[in-house]
Amino acid sequence: MRVRFAPSPTGYLHVGGARTALFNWLLARQAGGQFILRIEDTDVARSTEESMEAILVGMRWLGLTWDEGPDVGGPHAPYVQSERGALYREHAERLIASGHAYPCFCTKEELDALREQAAARNEIFRYPGTYRDFDPAEARRRREAGEPHVIRFKTPGEGVTVVEDLVHGTVTFQNAGLDDFVLLKNDGGPTYNFACVVDDALMEITHVLRGDDHLSNTPKQMMIYEALGYALPRFGHIPMILGQDRSRLSKRHGATSVMAYDEDGYLAHGLRNYLARLGWAHGDDEVFSMEDLIAKFSVEGINDTAAVFDPTKLKWLNGVWMRQTPADEMVDWCRQRWAERGWLGARHTADWQVGVVKLLQERTQTLLELVEASAFCFETPELVTLPESATKFLTAAAAPALESLRERLAALEEWTPEAIEAVFRGLAAEREVKLAAIIQPARVALTGSHVSPGMFETAYLIGRELVVTRLEAAIARIASPV
């Protein structure tokens, strides 16, 4: 099995493209086949090196490595269409020689006039075959003289083309609906349908999974395959992704760059898992590791109806992966954001940073949420800006307990979560109060909120010096409320 992902480098790797790449990658990996990356830059005006690099970066981040491609090479190089022009011209000449294609010398002005006439008749414009039966010798003379022209494919004009689609089943197209479409443009560049066929055939692609917006291109491509004498691949067309309002997915629905999700603190595990479930199912399972996906993925599991992009579900699923991912695999992302905020200092060792991630990963759904929630580990909370928590828990009745807590923690010989817990429990027992009566005022004093991770681990990470300082500030606030 040989499959490919063939993006156009006209922008970033978006959600729909990433899902297509993932489905192809899984198909190849499950079968022990080859996954090929090909860059289709026939849109010369919009294609850029920056976009190509952005696509490669996005795929690497998702873990979708390729066996052949523009940066790794392979037996069918080059893997960038703009470098394969000679192959397209050679195949176009083969089709002309076999009578399946012909030069068309219609000018833009002539075609525009025909379009206007069709529009005036309320008809869809179809090229009328002006040069379909033109004298081959005269056509050759005009080409050799340098007259501008395109190369058109000679469609049957009758009968049907049947696509046995891996997702949609049997789909029948009437050939009468196709005009003689262009293979090579007048600048010598290939059209999408032509380049796609030549490349897939020469790269020995056996299965083509792509968006169902390409389904209407398939009969044209099948005709080219047959005219060139190449074996057809198996085609499968994946339904599009819709926004929650059932309209085509756009930026307002969350269809941003794959790497924008990285910037927002989503894990590659989480986004990859969610993309796999967009239009594919394996029973009622929701959470899949990469190994699970490779083992369980099948084309038969792809739905033949559109999938709906749900940001809430993506976030939930990312939260699942936040809890399952080792903290040391997430700390680099957090470290960069802590540094950008100017929070990191000498006491914030690598092990300490991992400890912060461990403390908060169970309570957050993205790394960005984790970074924002970790602010109290670095900066002293402004208690005056938290009147609700402060008024409720930082009371005159709590002051003696906080003072005792401050003294005992300041004198604690061993600064460990276990030793800190013993101080809290001992103080609660002495004062004959519930543990919460000690923990809640301390939590507000240390974190600025009455909700936080475990108090003992939190105090340990904040560190003795800051714990004592923050308790003193809380006691002072009680004495002199704002």
Same domain, 407 and 461: yes
> Which two structure tokens, joined as six digits, stand for 106?
């219609």
CB 244 within 8 A of CB 308: yes
Give the domain CATH number at 362: 1.10.10.350
Q: Tell me the C-alpha distance between 195 and 184, whole Å.
A: 9
Per-residue pLDDT, 255: 57
Q: Please give the DSSP secondary-structure letter assigned to residue 155.
A: -
Same domain, 310 and 430: no
Which of 308, 325, 342 corresponds to the end of one domain? 325
Same domain, 377 and 250: no
Confirm whether 57 is domain-assigned: yes
3-state secondary structure 297-326: CCHHHECCCCEECCHHHHHHHHHHHHHHCC
Which of 302, 325, 348 corresponds to the end of one domain? 325
Same domain, 442 and 331: yes
Q: Which domain holds residue 426?
A: 327-479
Beta strands (DSSP E) in 95-248 are 101-104, 150-153, 160-165, 169-174, 182-184, 207-211, 234-238, 241-242
Q: Tell me the C-alpha distance between 14 and 21, whole Å.
A: 11
Confirm whether 282 is domain-assigned: yes
Which of 325, 351, 369 corresponds to the end of one domain? 325
CB atoms within 10 A of CB 218: 21
Residues 6+ apart with CB under 8 A from 84: 78, 195, 198, 199
> Which amino acid would we find at residue 329?
E
Confirm whether 231 is domain-assigned: no
> Annotated active-site positions, please?
251
> Which two structure tokens, joined as six digits, stand for 165?
């689609």
Confirm whether 214 is domain-assigned: no
Closest by CA to 81, choosing from 152, 184, 174, is 184
185-192 contacts at long range (C-beta below 8 A, 24 or more positions apart): 185/150, 186/148, 186/149, 186/150, 188/85, 188/89, 189/42, 189/44, 189/85, 189/88, 190/42, 190/81, 190/85, 190/88, 191/42, 192/40, 192/42, 192/217
- CA 361: distance to chain centroid? 22
Q: Tell me the C-alpha distance between 97 and 154, whole Å.
A: 12
Per-residue pLDDT, 447: 92
- Return phi, psi of residue 361, to 5°: -65, -25
Confirm whether 41 is domain-assigned: yes
pLDDT per position as a tens digit, 263-302: 999 999 999 999 999 999 999 999 999 999 999 999 999 9
**Exposure of 451 by Cβ count < 10 A (0-12 exposed, 13-18 middle, 19+ buried)?**
exposed
Q: Please give the DSSP secondary-structure letter assigned to residue 414.
A: S
Q: Tell me the C-alpha distance between 240 and 210, whole Å.
A: 10
Low-confidence ranges of the chain (pLDDT < 50): none
Total domains, the chain = 2
CB 348 within 8 A of CB 462: no
> Do the strands 34-37 and 234-238 form a parallel or antiparallel pair, or are they unpaired?
unpaired
Same domain, 456 and 331: yes
Per-residue pLDDT, 298: 95
Q: Which residue has the tokens 């949609």?
A: 168
Separation of first and last alpha carbons in the chain: 72
CB 384 within 8 A of CB 477: yes
Same domain, 321 and 332: no
CB 56 within 8 A of CB 71: yes
Confirm whether 375 is domain-assigned: yes
| Dihedral of the alpha carbons of 171, 296, 200, 156, in degrees to the nearest 10 | -10
Per-residue pLDDT, 390: 74
3-class DSSP assignment, residue 257: strand
CA distances from 333 to 11, 317, 364 (A): 25, 19, 15
Pick left, alpha or beta for residue 394 (phi over 0 → left; psi -120 to 50 → alpha; otherwise beta): beta
Q: Please give the DSSP secondary-structure letter assigned to residue 205.
A: -
Same domain, 351 and 339: yes
Per-residue pLDDT, 384: 53
Give the domain CATH number at 29: 3.40.50.620
Full DSSP string of 421-468: HHHHHHHHHHHT--HHHHHHHHHHHHHSSS--S-HHHHHHHH-HHHHH
Same domain, 268 and 338: no
Confirm whether 105 is domain-assigned: no
Per-residue pLDDT, 257: 87
Confirm whether 465 is domain-assigned: yes
